[in-house]
Amino acid sequence: MVSAVRRIDVELAAAAEDRSYPILIAPGLIDGHAELERWVGGREVFVISNETIAPLYLDRVIAAFGDRRIDTLILPDGESHKHLGSLEHIFDALLTKRHSRATTLVALGGGVVGDMTGFAAACYQRGVGFIQIPTTLLAQVDSSIGGKTAVNHPRGKNMIGAFHQPRGVLIDTDVLTTLPARELAAGLAEVVKYGCIRDRDFFAWLEREMPALLDRDPEALAVAIQRSCEIKAEVVGADEREAGLRAILNFGHTFGHAIETHTGYRSWLHGEAVAAGMVLAAELSVRLGSLEASEAGRIRGLLAAAGLPTQPPDDLDPDTFLTHMAVDKKVVDGRQRLILLAGLGNAEVRDDVPREHIIATLVARGVAV
């Protein structure tokens, strides 16, 4: 079956330095698309990938760029390599191979490869073009869209980076067939998030189609990715630099961040921590009277159906939990800013949540006092 290519145009505010760009979604896109011609300015292409993805897809991506001069760099896989040292490797390779200002960087991999490649593109000779080819569901529905690029610093995640929009995003739904089940589920956590914060009907569709999604049905995945990208593009387009609306994309993330900090970013995947975090944020919303208990139950049920954790780790006490939450970048003037729900499909930013309500929510969800 040949599927149609789904297309979303990310429209940025007029003042944005980089222009709007398209996201294309279809099976087999990794082998190329006519749009690539417009995304690559010159004759030079530099593909950055990692040790896990390169053996699977690098040859096909190289073929997709035709007879251009193509150089490649394979980085080690994993978040622990997302630092300035890896960035230096990229610059060394670009300069050794004499890539000019007209070069185009291509990120072939998950969020780590995408974040580093985008940041390298932002800085190389003060800015060159880049293309995202995300190979995890999480990167396809989240990190490849919105122009946030960065590397980590030992003292904080994503502390050094830039806003730099790609020329285009190429999402091949076929590559998800090689994605481990646990990473597929972690990506689905962000998909569920979009339903929670912005689209009640999409949430209901996810409830019906979760078995098909877990079965990697290409059509169901394409629909889920498209709607997720649309919502993210809509939010980012309205607020590129995170002044206001964009904060709602952090639903579940402040609680999740505390779980990731506690577990040292090792045992829990980001999407897993966000899943447990969304359950807590929903239940806190119920406690504050802005969400029905039945709706929080549906969120918890859908995440459980996706095989995601709905409970924080049991060795984390409320005080430590709150301390970890406060270190999150979402603290403004010392007040904890939280994204809660005013009904399913409708997120709101709150900075007036009493500490005792947060503690009560944690305790009710099994966090030991």
Binding-site ranges for a copy of itself (CB under 8 A) = 14-17, 84, 87-88, 91-92, 95-96, 101, 122-127, 148, 150, 153, 155-156, 158-163, 329
Residue with tokens 């622990």: 80
The three-state secondary structure class of 332 is strand
Give the integer Cα–Cα distance in Å for 131 and 168.
5
Q: Which is catalytic among the residues 270, 300, 324, 330?
A: 270
**Nearer residue to a copy of itself within complex by CB, 93 or 245:** 93
- Whether 131 and 104 have beta carbons less than 8 Å apart is answered as yes
**Nearer residue to a copy of itself within complex by CB, 96 or 294:** 96
Shortest Å, Cβ 103 to a copy of itself: 12
**Nearer residue to a copy of itself within complex by CB, 56 or 93:** 93
Q: Determine whether 270 is an active site residue.
A: yes
Residue with tokens 């690029």: 149
Shortest Å, Cβ 128 to a copy of itself: 11
Q: Determine whether 193 is an active site residue.
A: no
End-to-end CA distance of the chain: 55
Q: Determine whether 99 is an active site residue.
A: no
Which strand (E) or helix (H) includes residue 326? helix 318-327
Q: Which is catalytic among the residues 190, 230, 240, 283?
A: 190
Question: Which amino acid appears at position 254 of this protein?
Answer: T
**Nearer residue to a copy of itself within complex by CB, 32 or 42:** 42
Give the integer Cα–Cα distance in Å for 63 and 118.
22
Give the integer Cα–Cα distance in Å for 191 and 227.
9
**Nearer residue to a copy of itself within complex by CB, 153 or 335:** 153
Shortest Å, Cβ 84 to a copy of itself: 6
Pairing of strands 69-75, 44-50: parallel
Q: Which is catalytic among the residues 164, 167, 240, 250?
A: 250
Shortest Å, Cβ 134 to a copy of itself: 20
Instruction: Residue 96: name the closest of 115, 74, 121, 71 by CA.
Output: 71
Shortest Å, Cβ 116 to a copy of itself: 13
Q: Determine whether 257 is an active site residue.
A: yes
Q: Determine whether 33 is an active site residue.
A: no
Q: Which is catalytic among the residues 6, 81, 82, 148?
A: 148
Q: Determine whether 148 is an active site residue.
A: yes
Which strand (E) or helix (H) includes residue 191? helix 181-198
The residues assigned a catalytic role are: 126, 148, 190, 232, 242, 246, 250, 253, 257, 270
